[in-house]
Structure 1
Protein backbone atom coordinates (compact mmCIF):
# COMPACT_ATOMS: atom_id res chain seq x y z
CA UNK A 1 0.00 0.00 0.00
CA UNK A 2 2.87 2.39 0.79
CA UNK A 3 4.25 1.68 -2.69
CA UNK A 4 0.92 2.84 -4.15
CA UNK A 5 1.20 6.11 -2.23
CA UNK A 6 4.73 6.65 -3.47
CA UNK A 7 3.82 5.95 -7.09
CA UNK A 8 0.80 8.25 -6.67
CA UNK A 9 3.07 11.07 -5.49
CA UNK A 10 5.30 10.57 -8.53
CA UNK A 11 2.29 10.59 -10.84
CA UNK A 12 1.05 13.80 -9.19
CA UNK A 13 4.33 15.56 -9.96
CA UNK A 14 4.63 14.23 -13.51
CA UNK A 15 0.99 14.59 -14.58
CA UNK A 16 -1.39 16.53 -12.31
CA UNK A 17 1.12 19.16 -11.18
CA UNK A 18 2.29 19.78 -14.72
CA UNK A 19 -1.31 20.16 -15.90
CA UNK A 20 -1.95 22.83 -13.24
CA UNK A 21 1.56 24.28 -13.07
CA UNK A 22 0.36 27.86 -13.50
CA UNK A 23 -2.14 27.51 -10.64
CA UNK A 24 0.50 26.13 -8.26
CA UNK A 25 2.82 28.93 -9.31
CA UNK A 26 0.24 31.47 -8.16
CA UNK A 27 -0.46 29.55 -4.96
CA UNK A 28 3.25 29.59 -4.08
CA UNK A 29 2.85 33.34 -3.48
CA UNK A 30 0.21 32.87 -0.77
CA UNK A 31 -3.31 31.65 -0.11
CA UNK A 32 -6.67 33.38 -0.28
CA UNK A 33 -9.26 30.65 0.34
CA UNK A 34 -12.87 31.79 0.11
CA UNK A 35 -14.24 29.06 2.39
CA UNK A 36 -13.42 27.41 5.70
CA UNK A 37 -14.51 23.77 5.48
CA UNK A 38 -14.85 21.99 8.83
CA UNK A 39 -15.29 18.27 8.33
CA UNK A 40 -14.75 14.90 9.93
CA UNK A 41 -11.38 13.15 9.77
CA UNK A 42 -13.18 10.11 8.33
CA UNK A 43 -11.24 8.86 5.30
CA UNK A 44 -14.48 8.59 3.30
CA UNK A 45 -15.12 12.33 3.46
CA UNK A 46 -12.85 14.19 1.01
CA UNK A 47 -13.62 17.96 1.04
CA UNK A 48 -12.13 18.95 -2.34
CA UNK A 49 -13.70 15.92 -4.00
CA UNK A 50 -17.26 16.49 -2.80
CA UNK A 51 -17.10 20.26 -3.39
CA UNK A 52 -15.29 19.96 -6.74
CA UNK A 53 -12.80 22.65 -5.71
CA UNK A 54 -9.18 23.28 -6.67
CA UNK A 55 -6.18 23.75 -4.37
CA UNK A 56 -6.29 27.18 -2.74
CA UNK A 57 -10.09 27.45 -2.49
CA UNK A 58 -10.71 25.69 0.82
CA UNK A 59 -9.06 26.18 4.19
CA UNK A 60 -9.78 22.78 5.69
CA UNK A 61 -10.06 21.64 9.30
CA UNK A 62 -10.77 17.99 10.02
CA UNK A 63 -11.23 16.23 13.33
CA UNK A 64 -13.27 13.42 14.86
CA UNK A 65 -16.99 14.19 14.35
CA UNK A 66 -16.42 17.65 12.76
CA UNK A 67 -16.39 19.41 16.12
CA UNK A 68 -16.17 23.17 16.66
CA UNK A 69 -15.10 23.70 20.28
CA UNK A 70 -16.67 26.81 21.86
CA UNK A 71 -14.20 29.68 21.67
CA UNK A 72 -11.82 30.23 24.55
CA UNK A 73 -8.29 31.42 25.16
CA UNK A 74 -6.04 28.99 27.02
CA UNK A 75 -2.45 27.94 27.60
CA UNK A 76 -3.24 24.54 26.08
CA UNK A 77 -2.59 23.68 22.45
CA UNK A 78 -6.01 24.32 20.87
CA UNK A 79 -5.52 23.06 17.32
CA UNK A 80 -9.07 23.36 15.99
CA UNK A 81 -9.83 26.61 17.80
CA UNK A 82 -6.62 28.28 16.61
CA UNK A 83 -7.20 27.15 13.01
CA UNK A 84 -10.73 28.60 13.01
CA UNK A 85 -9.41 31.79 14.60
CA UNK A 86 -6.76 32.03 11.87
CA UNK A 87 -9.29 31.49 9.09
CA UNK A 88 -11.56 34.20 10.48
CA UNK A 89 -9.08 36.83 11.56
CA UNK A 90 -6.14 36.41 9.17
CA UNK A 91 -7.54 34.79 6.03
CA UNK A 92 -10.90 36.55 6.40
CA UNK A 93 -12.82 33.72 4.75
CA UNK A 94 -16.26 34.64 3.46
CA UNK A 95 -17.93 31.27 3.99
CA UNK A 96 -17.87 28.55 6.62
CA UNK A 97 -19.23 25.06 6.01
CA UNK A 98 -19.60 22.51 8.80
CA UNK A 99 -19.98 19.13 7.13
CA UNK A 100 -21.24 16.09 9.01
CA UNK A 101 -21.84 12.73 7.36
CA UNK A 102 -23.68 9.43 7.52
CA UNK A 103 -22.23 6.43 9.35
CA UNK A 104 -20.06 8.69 11.52
CA UNK A 105 -17.93 6.63 13.89
CA UNK A 106 -17.43 9.58 16.23
CA UNK A 107 -21.15 10.18 16.66
CA UNK A 108 -21.76 6.46 17.11
CA UNK A 109 -19.06 6.26 19.78
CA UNK A 110 -21.02 8.71 21.94
CA UNK A 111 -23.17 5.79 23.05
CA UNK A 112 -20.37 3.27 23.60
CA UNK A 113 -19.53 2.18 27.18
CA UNK A 114 -16.67 4.06 28.85
CA UNK A 115 -14.54 0.92 29.14
CA UNK A 116 -14.35 0.68 25.35
CA UNK A 117 -12.19 3.84 25.38
CA UNK A 118 -9.48 2.32 27.57
CA UNK A 119 -6.85 2.58 24.82
CA UNK A 120 -8.07 5.92 23.48
CA UNK A 121 -8.60 8.21 26.50
CA UNK A 122 -8.07 11.36 24.44
CA UNK A 123 -10.85 10.34 22.07
CA UNK A 124 -13.16 9.88 25.05
CA UNK A 125 -12.26 13.34 26.34
CA UNK A 126 -12.75 14.89 22.87
CA UNK A 127 -16.23 13.41 22.53
CA UNK A 128 -17.23 15.09 25.79
CA UNK A 129 -17.59 18.19 23.61
CA UNK A 130 -20.70 16.49 22.20
CA UNK A 131 -22.29 15.76 25.57
CA UNK A 132 -25.09 18.27 24.98
CA UNK A 133 -25.93 16.60 21.66
CA UNK A 134 -26.04 13.18 23.33
CA UNK A 135 -28.24 14.53 26.13
CA UNK A 136 -30.78 15.94 23.66
CA UNK A 137 -30.92 12.73 21.64
CA UNK A 138 -31.39 10.54 24.71
CA UNK A 139 -34.23 12.80 25.78
CA UNK A 140 -35.92 12.29 22.40
CA UNK A 141 -35.28 8.53 22.66
CA UNK A 142 -35.36 7.54 18.94
CA UNK A 143 -37.08 4.20 18.19
CA UNK A 144 -34.04 2.53 16.59
CA UNK A 145 -30.25 2.67 16.71
CA UNK A 146 -30.12 3.74 13.06
CA UNK A 147 -32.53 6.62 13.72
CA UNK A 148 -30.55 7.61 16.81
CA UNK A 149 -27.32 7.84 14.81
CA UNK A 150 -28.95 9.74 11.94
CA UNK A 151 -30.44 12.27 14.36
CA UNK A 152 -27.17 12.57 16.28
CA UNK A 153 -25.18 13.31 13.13
CA UNK A 154 -27.56 16.05 12.03
CA UNK A 155 -28.05 17.61 15.47
CA UNK A 156 -24.27 17.64 15.82
CA UNK A 157 -23.96 19.81 12.70
CA UNK A 158 -26.48 22.28 14.12
CA UNK A 159 -24.62 22.38 17.45
CA UNK A 160 -21.31 23.16 15.76
CA UNK A 161 -22.92 26.02 13.85
CA UNK A 162 -24.06 27.41 17.19
CA UNK A 163 -20.55 27.01 18.59
CA UNK A 164 -19.16 29.08 15.71
CA UNK A 165 -21.21 32.01 16.98
CA UNK A 166 -19.00 32.12 20.09
CA UNK A 167 -15.96 33.13 18.00
CA UNK A 168 -14.98 36.83 18.02
CA UNK A 169 -16.54 38.82 15.21
CA UNK A 170 -18.71 36.05 13.76
CA UNK A 171 -22.10 37.46 14.79
CA UNK A 172 -21.11 40.93 13.64
CA UNK A 173 -19.89 39.74 10.23
CA UNK A 174 -23.06 37.68 9.78
CA UNK A 175 -25.24 40.75 10.44
CA UNK A 176 -23.22 42.79 7.95
CA UNK A 177 -23.50 40.08 5.30
CA UNK A 178 -19.73 39.61 5.27
CA UNK A 179 -19.87 35.95 6.30
CA UNK A 180 -22.05 32.98 5.40
CA UNK A 181 -22.54 29.87 7.55
CA UNK A 182 -23.83 26.55 6.23
CA UNK A 183 -24.32 23.14 7.80
CA UNK A 184 -24.03 20.17 5.44
CA UNK A 185 -24.95 16.53 5.90
CA UNK A 186 -23.21 14.24 3.41
CA UNK A 187 -24.59 10.75 2.74
CA UNK A 188 -21.69 8.49 1.81
CA UNK A 189 -23.68 5.75 0.08
CA UNK A 190 -25.61 8.06 -2.25
CA UNK A 191 -23.35 11.10 -2.64
CA UNK A 192 -26.24 13.37 -1.65
CA UNK A 193 -25.63 16.50 0.41
CA UNK A 194 -28.31 18.12 2.54
CA UNK A 195 -27.98 21.70 3.77
CA UNK A 196 -29.48 22.97 7.01
CA UNK A 197 -32.13 25.58 6.26
CA UNK A 198 -32.29 28.10 9.10
CA UNK A 199 -35.76 29.33 8.14
CA UNK A 200 -37.37 25.88 8.04
CA UNK A 201 -35.03 24.41 10.66
CA UNK A 202 -34.59 21.30 8.54
CA UNK A 203 -32.02 19.68 6.29
CA UNK A 204 -33.01 20.11 2.64
CA UNK A 205 -31.30 18.79 -0.51
CA UNK A 206 -28.47 21.11 -1.49
CA UNK A 207 -29.93 21.67 -4.95
CA UNK A 208 -33.06 23.04 -3.21
CA UNK A 209 -31.11 26.02 -1.87
Structure 2
Protein backbone atom coordinates (compact mmCIF):
# COMPACT_ATOMS: atom_id res chain seq x y z
CA UNK A 1 0.00 0.00 0.00
CA UNK A 2 1.32 3.48 -0.85
CA UNK A 3 1.30 6.26 1.73
CA UNK A 4 -1.38 8.07 -0.30
CA UNK A 5 -3.60 4.99 -0.30
CA UNK A 6 -2.98 4.66 3.42
CA UNK A 7 -4.01 8.27 4.07
CA UNK A 8 -7.19 7.80 2.04
CA UNK A 9 -8.03 4.62 3.91
CA UNK A 10 -7.47 6.42 7.21
CA UNK A 11 -9.85 9.23 6.24
CA UNK A 12 -12.57 6.79 5.24
CA UNK A 13 -12.16 4.01 7.81
CA UNK A 14 -9.38 4.42 10.38
CA UNK A 15 -10.48 7.86 11.54
CA UNK A 16 -14.01 6.68 12.24
CA UNK A 17 -12.73 4.09 14.72
CA UNK A 18 -11.61 6.92 17.01
CA UNK A 19 -13.86 9.73 15.82
CA UNK A 20 -15.08 10.65 19.30
CA UNK A 21 -11.55 10.63 20.67
CA UNK A 22 -10.26 12.93 17.93
CA UNK A 23 -13.17 15.28 18.63
CA UNK A 24 -12.09 15.43 22.28
CA UNK A 25 -8.50 16.10 21.25
CA UNK A 26 -9.27 18.85 18.74
CA UNK A 27 -8.55 21.72 21.15
CA UNK A 28 -5.74 20.38 23.31
CA UNK A 29 -3.53 17.42 24.16
CA UNK A 30 -2.79 15.94 27.55
CA UNK A 31 -0.24 13.13 27.06
CA UNK A 32 0.90 11.24 30.12
CA UNK A 33 4.25 10.15 28.66
CA UNK A 34 7.15 11.57 26.69
CA UNK A 35 8.49 8.77 24.49
CA UNK A 36 12.03 9.33 23.20
CA UNK A 37 12.83 6.79 20.54
CA UNK A 38 14.94 6.09 17.50
CA UNK A 39 13.78 7.23 14.07
CA UNK A 40 14.09 3.62 12.88
CA UNK A 41 11.01 2.63 10.85
CA UNK A 42 10.73 -0.65 12.76
CA UNK A 43 10.14 1.10 16.07
CA UNK A 44 6.50 2.16 16.40
CA UNK A 45 5.87 3.82 19.80
CA UNK A 46 2.09 3.49 19.83
CA UNK A 47 2.30 -0.14 18.74
CA UNK A 48 4.89 -1.02 21.39
CA UNK A 49 2.98 0.73 24.18
CA UNK A 50 -0.53 -0.05 22.88
CA UNK A 51 -1.56 3.58 23.35
CA UNK A 52 -4.16 5.75 21.64
CA UNK A 53 -3.78 9.18 20.01
CA UNK A 54 -3.21 11.82 22.67
CA UNK A 55 -1.37 9.58 25.13
CA UNK A 56 2.23 9.92 23.93
CA UNK A 57 4.31 12.97 23.11
CA UNK A 58 6.96 11.51 20.83
CA UNK A 59 10.52 12.63 20.10
CA UNK A 60 12.52 10.60 17.59
CA UNK A 61 16.07 10.94 16.32
CA UNK A 62 18.97 8.79 15.16
CA UNK A 63 19.89 6.39 18.00
CA UNK A 64 17.41 7.86 20.52
CA UNK A 65 20.03 10.27 21.87
CA UNK A 66 19.23 12.84 24.53
CA UNK A 67 21.84 15.62 24.46
CA UNK A 68 22.95 17.25 27.68
CA UNK A 69 20.88 20.28 28.61
CA UNK A 70 22.20 23.51 27.19
CA UNK A 71 21.02 26.92 26.03
CA UNK A 72 22.55 28.08 22.77
CA UNK A 73 21.68 30.27 19.82
CA UNK A 74 20.99 27.32 17.56
CA UNK A 75 18.11 25.05 16.61
CA UNK A 76 17.74 22.48 19.40
CA UNK A 77 14.99 20.13 18.25
CA UNK A 78 15.29 17.32 20.80
CA UNK A 79 16.08 19.65 23.70
CA UNK A 80 13.14 21.91 22.83
CA UNK A 81 10.72 18.99 22.56
CA UNK A 82 11.79 17.63 25.94
CA UNK A 83 11.38 21.05 27.57
CA UNK A 84 7.93 21.45 26.02
CA UNK A 85 6.80 18.02 27.23
CA UNK A 86 7.94 18.71 30.79
CA UNK A 87 6.94 22.35 31.21
CA UNK A 88 3.97 22.86 28.89
CA UNK A 89 2.46 19.38 28.92
CA UNK A 90 3.51 18.32 32.42
CA UNK A 91 4.05 14.68 31.45
CA UNK A 92 4.22 12.09 34.22
CA UNK A 93 6.68 9.69 32.57
CA UNK A 94 9.64 9.79 30.23
CA UNK A 95 10.64 6.66 28.33
CA UNK A 96 13.95 6.43 26.50
CA UNK A 97 13.53 3.49 24.15
CA UNK A 98 16.48 2.01 22.29
CA UNK A 99 16.24 -1.08 20.15
CA UNK A 100 18.11 -4.07 18.75
CA UNK A 101 20.05 -3.80 15.49
CA UNK A 102 20.25 -0.02 15.78
CA UNK A 103 22.00 1.40 12.73
CA UNK A 104 22.98 4.59 14.53
CA UNK A 105 24.65 2.75 17.40
CA UNK A 106 26.40 0.40 14.99
CA UNK A 107 27.65 3.30 12.86
CA UNK A 108 29.94 4.60 15.60
CA UNK A 109 32.07 1.51 14.98
CA UNK A 110 32.23 2.10 11.22
CA UNK A 111 33.00 5.82 10.71
CA UNK A 112 33.75 5.38 7.00
CA UNK A 113 30.06 4.68 6.43
CA UNK A 114 29.33 8.20 7.65
CA UNK A 115 31.76 10.04 5.37
CA UNK A 116 28.93 11.24 3.12
CA UNK A 117 26.70 12.07 6.11
CA UNK A 118 28.66 14.66 8.11
CA UNK A 119 25.60 15.82 10.04
CA UNK A 120 24.90 12.25 11.19
CA UNK A 121 28.56 11.72 12.08
CA UNK A 122 28.53 14.90 14.15
CA UNK A 123 25.30 13.87 15.91
CA UNK A 124 26.74 10.47 16.81
CA UNK A 125 29.84 12.07 18.36
CA UNK A 126 27.63 12.29 21.44
CA UNK A 127 28.23 8.55 21.82
CA UNK A 128 32.02 8.90 22.01
CA UNK A 129 31.98 8.19 25.76
CA UNK A 130 29.92 5.05 25.15
CA UNK A 131 32.39 3.89 22.52
CA UNK A 132 35.39 4.54 24.76
CA UNK A 133 33.79 2.71 27.68
CA UNK A 134 33.23 -0.39 25.55
CA UNK A 135 36.70 -0.22 24.04
CA UNK A 136 38.18 -0.19 27.54
CA UNK A 137 36.05 -3.09 28.73
CA UNK A 138 36.46 -6.85 28.36
CA UNK A 139 33.15 -7.20 26.52
CA UNK A 140 33.18 -9.88 23.77
CA UNK A 141 32.84 -8.58 20.23
CA UNK A 142 29.55 -10.40 19.73
CA UNK A 143 28.02 -8.47 22.65
CA UNK A 144 29.16 -5.08 21.39
CA UNK A 145 25.92 -4.21 19.57
CA UNK A 146 23.59 -4.74 22.53
CA UNK A 147 26.07 -3.16 24.91
CA UNK A 148 26.29 -0.05 22.71
CA UNK A 149 22.51 0.21 22.50
CA UNK A 150 22.04 -0.20 26.23
CA UNK A 151 24.81 2.19 27.23
CA UNK A 152 23.31 4.72 24.83
CA UNK A 153 20.01 4.40 26.69
CA UNK A 154 21.72 4.87 30.05
CA UNK A 155 23.65 7.90 28.81
CA UNK A 156 20.40 9.47 27.58
CA UNK A 157 18.82 8.90 30.99
CA UNK A 158 21.80 10.60 32.63
CA UNK A 159 21.55 13.50 30.22
CA UNK A 160 17.84 13.87 30.91
CA UNK A 161 18.70 14.53 34.53
CA UNK A 162 20.81 17.54 33.45
CA UNK A 163 17.52 19.26 32.55
CA UNK A 164 16.64 21.31 35.66
CA UNK A 165 12.93 20.58 35.48
CA UNK A 166 13.50 16.83 35.06
CA UNK A 167 15.78 16.59 38.06
CA UNK A 168 13.47 18.68 40.23
CA UNK A 169 10.29 16.81 39.34
CA UNK A 170 11.93 13.38 39.62
CA UNK A 171 13.23 14.20 43.09
CA UNK A 172 9.72 15.27 44.12
CA UNK A 173 8.28 12.01 42.83
CA UNK A 174 6.27 13.85 40.17
CA UNK A 175 8.11 12.31 37.21
CA UNK A 176 9.25 8.77 36.43
CA UNK A 177 12.10 7.93 34.05
CA UNK A 178 12.33 4.61 32.21
CA UNK A 179 15.05 3.12 30.02
CA UNK A 180 13.78 0.48 27.58
CA UNK A 181 15.55 -1.84 25.15
CA UNK A 182 13.15 -3.15 22.52
CA UNK A 183 14.04 -6.36 20.68
CA UNK A 184 12.61 -6.19 17.18
CA UNK A 185 12.59 -9.89 16.33
CA UNK A 186 10.92 -11.06 19.56
CA UNK A 187 8.83 -8.06 20.61
CA UNK A 188 10.42 -8.19 24.07
CA UNK A 189 10.99 -5.00 26.04
CA UNK A 190 13.72 -4.92 28.66
CA UNK A 191 13.56 -2.17 31.27
CA UNK A 192 16.50 -0.82 33.25
CA UNK A 193 16.09 -1.26 36.97
CA UNK A 194 18.49 -1.71 39.89
CA UNK A 195 21.57 -1.71 37.66
CA UNK A 196 20.39 -4.14 34.98
CA UNK A 197 17.99 -4.57 32.08
CA UNK A 198 15.26 -7.05 32.91
CA UNK A 199 12.24 -8.20 30.93
CA UNK A 200 9.39 -5.77 31.51
CA UNK A 201 6.73 -7.01 33.90
CA UNK A 202 3.72 -5.69 35.80
CA UNK A 203 5.78 -4.97 38.89
CA UNK A 204 7.78 -2.34 37.00
CA UNK A 205 4.99 0.22 36.73
Task: Give the structure-2-normalised TM-score.
Answer: 0.96
Task: Quote the Cα distance in structure 2 between the aligned partners of 1:19 and 1:62.
Answer: 26
Is the contact made by 1:158 and 1:183 (CA closer than 8 Å) also made in structure 2? Answer: yes
Is the contact made by 2:180 and 2:192 (CA closer than 8 Å) also made in structure 1? Answer: yes
Matched, 1:18 2:12: no
Instruction: Name stretches of at least 5 consecutive residues in structure 1 with no aligned partner.
Output: none
Alignment partner, residue 139 of structure 2: 142
User: What SS does the aligned partner of 1:36 have?
Assistant: strand
Task: Quote the Cα distance in structure 2 between the aligned partners of 1:154 and 1:20.
Answer: 36
Task: Quote the Cα distance in structure 2 between the aligned partners of 1:24 and 1:82.
Answer: 26
Tell me the C-alpha RMSD between the 2 structures: 1.1
Alignment partner, residue 128 of structure 1: 125
Task: Quote the Cα distance in structure 2 between the aligned partners of 1:50 and 1:43.
Answer: 13
- Alignment partner of 2:105 out of 98, 104, 107: 107
Alignment partner, residue 56 of structure 1: 54
Task: Quote the Cα distance in structure 1 between the aligned partners of 2:114 and 2:64.
Answer: 19
Is the contact made by 2:36 and 2:94 (CA closer than 8 Å) also made in structure 1? Answer: yes
- Alignment partner of 1:30 out of 4, 28, 31: 28
Task: Quote the Cα distance in structure 1 between the aligned partners of 2:180 and 2:137.
Answer: 22
Task: Quote the Cα distance in structure 2 between the aligned partners of 1:66 and 1:117.
Answer: 18
Alignment partner, residue 196 of structure 2: 202
Task: Quote the Cα distance in structure 1 between the aligned partners of 2:114 and 2:39.
Answer: 18
C-alpha displacement of 1:142:
2.2
Is the contact made by 1:141 and 1:148 (CA closer than 8 Å) also made in structure 2? Answer: no
Task: Quote the Cα distance in structure 1 between the aligned partners of 2:4 and 2:140.
Answer: 47
Task: Quote the Cα distance in structure 2 between the aligned partners of 1:141 and 1:74.
Answer: 38
- Give the count of matched residue pairs: 203
Alignment partner, residue 161 of structure 2: 165
C-alpha displacement of 1:141:
4.0
Alignment partner, residue 85 of structure 1: 83
Is the contact made by 1:173 and 1:179 (CA closer than 8 Å) also made in structure 2? Answer: yes
C-alpha displacement of 1:90:
0.7
Task: Quote the Cα distance in structure 2 between the aligned partners of 1:86 and 1:168.
Answer: 13
